[in-house]
């Protein structure tokens, strides 16, 4: 099955996302992240940090897949590293397992390349590290320290991953990653 075949894709800057689109995206994210503490739904289409750019697939006018990007500098082993911080990666449960996620990662990668970024970066649970790995993302030791939604600083217990975009993975510095902010 190729569930990605009949989708239309759009790339939208955050200021251009309409209230109706936020509602529809919030509903999509609520369907995809059923155990999240974030109250995704009407008017709430982000978790912690707001993204600046979203890549969205639509079917029959409704969003069915979504990936979001925020450019930022991480501090890695004390050095500033520019990344596209990626999050809110989601495929409608009705379409999962059919290749839409792979297409989403490919389009996310192309978007990071279009922004001329050296690296993509994300944190994720162990259960989806294999998915990102299939899209070219590379697990790095990290760990990542970041500000939680409640304002406390934590060392994230999950997986830290890097996508080599315009720089080779050998240019990624070893050592702890400090996000110094919220995850997307």
Ligand X SMILES: CC(C)(COP(=O)(O)OP(=O)(O)OC[C@H]1O[C@@H](n2cnc3c(N)ncnc32)[C@H](O)[C@@H]1OP(=O)(O)O)[C@@H](O)C(=O)NCCC(=O)NCCS
| Interface residue list for ligand X (CB under 6 A) | 32-33, 89-91, 96-102, 124, 127-128, 130-131, 134
- Pick between residue 35 and residue 152 the one whose CB is nearest to ligand X: 35
- Pick between residue 17 and residue 160 the one whose CB is nearest to ligand X: 160
List Cα–Cα distances, 144 to 83, 105, 149, 162, 166, in angstroms. Answer: 14, 22, 15, 12, 22
Least gap, CB of 11 to ligand X (angstroms): 18
Beta bridge partners of 54: 12, 68
CA 7 – CA 111 distance, rounded (Å)? 17
Least gap, CB of 135 to ligand X (angstroms): 7
- Pick between residue 53 and residue 100 the one whose CB is nearest to ligand X: 100
Containing 26, the helix (H) or strand (E) segment is helix 19-32
Least gap, CB of 78 to ligand X (angstroms): 27
């Amino acid at each position: 099955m190729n569930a990605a075949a009949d989708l239309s894709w759009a790339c939208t800057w955050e200021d251009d996302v309409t209230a109706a689109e936020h509602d529809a995206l919030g509903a999509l994210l609520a369907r995809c992240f059923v155990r999240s503490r974030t109250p995704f739904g009407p008017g709430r289409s982000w978790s912690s940090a707001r993204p600046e750019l979203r890549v969205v697939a639509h079917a029959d006018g409704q969003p069915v897949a979504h990936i979001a990007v925020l450019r930022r500098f991480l501090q890695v082993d004390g050095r500033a590293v520019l990344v596209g911080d990626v999050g809110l990666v989601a495929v409608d449960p009705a379409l999962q397992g059919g290749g839409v996620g792979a297409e989403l990662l490919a389009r996310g990668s192309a978007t990071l390349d279009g922004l001329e970024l050296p690296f993509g970066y994300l944190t994720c649970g162990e259960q989806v590290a294999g998915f990102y790995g299939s899209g070219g993302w590379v697990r790095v030791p990290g760990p990542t320290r970041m500000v939680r939604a409640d304002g406390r600083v934590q060392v994230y217990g999950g997986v830290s991953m890097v996508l080599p975009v315009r720089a080779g993975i050998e240019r990624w510095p070893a050592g702890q990653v400090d996000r110094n902010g919220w995850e997307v």
